[in-house]
A and B are shown apart, each in its own frame.
Chain A
Amino acid sequence: MTVLVVSNIDLTTKLQVVKPTTFLDSTIKEPTLNINNEYRYLKTGYYVSMHAEILGNRVIPSCENIIDSSRTPVFLLRAAKAGVLTLPVLVTDSVKKITNELGFPVLIFAVNPFIYDGYKIAGNKSALYRAMKSLGMNYKFAVCAQPLRGELSAVKTYFGKTVNQDIDIQKIAEKVYRIFGIPICKLYIQKTVDKAYLCGLQPVDKEELSEQDLKIISKEVSLISEQGEAFGV
């Protein structure tokens, strides 16, 4: 089976790789593997998957998964439904509600059209006001709040694999890839003494991709391309 690899990253593979702009001008009808360091809505990584879907191609990742994985409350809801451990989530613009229902410390992610990365941790009410002002863009938008019960790690994952040695974290990364199929992303995971909780997903900057990372990505791309298992064939 032929898999069309569309990538904005220079992969170290012998496979033929098509640039996103070339693919967007084409009508190639083949299962499509969309490799991009960021799959932000309205950006090229998103349009590649959209174009593939319009052509009727099976594509990794799908537009639905791209949108849902970047909306933290939706991402966590779907992950929890699939059995991934998550903590209670509040989507609100009310400091009082977060204070009363979650307490401190609390982890805040943005839920607005303008901020797509970063987070804030608030240990008290005044820090929470500052976090909501910044991530809620002067209280104009709601934020997504979760209790912070352990140590928060940002884990780069490639096709569900990570170099992180923690087994719980590895299991979460694998599961998240099975649910959302985002090939390259950064997962935020909280680790307590005995459990790991998924907290969010964000894009990886191109500068954050080391040579080692590129090798892992290229190897996975070659495997998928040869076996086609990820496309159900």
Chain B
Amino acid sequence: MSKIACFVEKYNFTDPREESALQNFKAAAEKQGSEFHFLFREDISEVPRYDAVFIRATTDPLNTAYVVSKTAWELGLKVIDDPESITICGNKIHQYALFEKYNVPRIPTMFLNKDELHHKKISEIFDALGKPVVIKAPYTSFSRYVEKAACETSFRDVAKRFFRKSDVLAIQKFTPTAFDWRVGVLNNDVLYVCKYMIPKGKWKHGAKLRGKPTVIWGRTVSLRKREMPARLREVALKACSVVGKGLYGVDIKEVDGDYVVVEVNDNPSIYAGYEDSSDRDIYRRIINYLSE
């Protein structure tokens, strides 16, 4: 019997579908005889009392979640997401550099340093990637800090904003599709497969309505993992292999009959009735991995 701490923040309970998924994790743990406790920010000092830590709060090397992850790791606990996965997935520059090194099929990507924001470099980027391009801050998550630019003026405007926090940005070829594949992977094995549909008239899964702060999300269509195309599985597992052996959500686009990786996310969203619709065993498998 193991004691599992699930590190959460209050916002993890605001969406009933996420709260329901968290309760499903608790039920799966208790069914196999493990203890499962929600650990909030004020209880971080209790991490040593547990055997494993499962992080559901948003991860980033600068967030409290990293402190929890690294503390657990240093104490020899099993942890999802492990600190190295947070480091690589929390910084898309790091991730794309690894994709390049290990030849992972990916969307054409260039890096832009803060000192290179000038006409010549921007022209080179447009020449190489076409117009528009997608400008991505390394710390992007939930479709935030990813914007499109079709001219030098808007390119400069977006880049300047993103450069406030990071000295390097990723610029990608604009690749519109009707949906992104989302492949859930745990320890080098596929856990679930979904299609994250792009809302009509938009180009990313989570998009703002013009002039409004509200974010609208596309539908999530779940598929049985045994029905997924073999090449999709191969590309998803290859992308994860350069990151680590944890729990990931790989975003993949289908372009001209092949698959290219958009990004690998640690701490992937798991909402009841969405990612778990076709393969109901995802809760049990994650809990088993934590209590092994």
Q: Using a Cβ–Cβ cut-off of 8 Å, how many residues does chain A contribute to the interface with B?
A: 32
Interface of B, helix, strand, loop or mixed by DSSP: helix
Nearest A residue (CB) for B45: A90
Are B64 and A54 in contact, CB atoms less than 8 angstroms apart? no
Interface status of B74 (Cβ within 8 A of chain A): yes
Interface status of A91 (Cβ within 8 A of chain B): yes
Contact digits for A22-33, partner B, Cβ 8 Å, 1 yes 0 no = 001100000000
Residues on the A chain within 8 Å of B64, using CB: 91, 111-112, 141-142
Are B87 and A91 in contact, CB atoms less than 8 angstroms apart? no
Interface status of B71 (Cβ within 8 A of chain A): yes
Nearest A residue (CB) for B97: A54
Contact digits for B159-170, partner A, Cβ 8 Å, 1 yes 0 no = 000000111100
Nearest A residue (CB) for B166: A42
How many angstroms from the CA of A97 to the CA of B138 in the assembled complex? Answer: 35
Known: A94-B42, A113-B63. A42 touches B70 (CB 8 A): no
Pick the contact of A113 from B45, B60, B98 — CB < 8 Å? B60
Interface size class of B (residues with CB under 8 A): 20 to 34
Binds B, one of A9-17, A66-74, A168-176, A193-201: A66-74
Interface centre among A47, A51, A54, A113 (most CB of B within 10 A): A47
How many angstroms from the CA of A21 to the CA of B112 in the assembled complex? Answer: 10
Contact digits for A106-130, partner B, Cβ 8 Å, 1 yes 0 no = 0000011100000000000000000
Are A92 and B41 in contact, CB atoms less than 8 angstroms apart? yes
Pick the contact of B139 from A21, A42, A51 — CB < 8 Å? A42
Nearest B residue (CB) for A96: B42
Interface status of B113 (Cβ within 8 A of chain A): yes
Are B42 and A97 in contact, CB atoms less than 8 angstroms apart? yes
Contact digits for B255-267, partner A, Cβ 8 Å, 1 yes 0 no = 0000000000000
A46-88 interface with B by 8 A CB criterion: 47, 50-51, 54, 63-64, 67-68, 71, 73-74, 77-78, 81
CB distance from B124 to the nearest CB of A (A): 12
| Given A44-B114, A71-B70, A97-B42, 8 extra CB contacts under 8 A | A25-B113, A41-B62, A44-B113, A64-B83, A64-B84, A74-B71, A91-B64, A142-B64
Q: Which 8 A-B pairs have the closest CB atoms?
A: A113-B62, A42-B166, A91-B44, A54-B97, A94-B42, A74-B70, A44-B167, A92-B42
A-side residues, CB < 8 A to B, are 21, 24-25, 41-44, 47, 50-51, 54, 63-64, 67-68, 71, 73-74, 77-78, 81, 90-94, 97, 111-113, 141-142
A-B contact pairs, 6 of them (CB 8 A): A41-B62, A42-B138, A54-B101, A67-B61, A74-B70, A111-B64
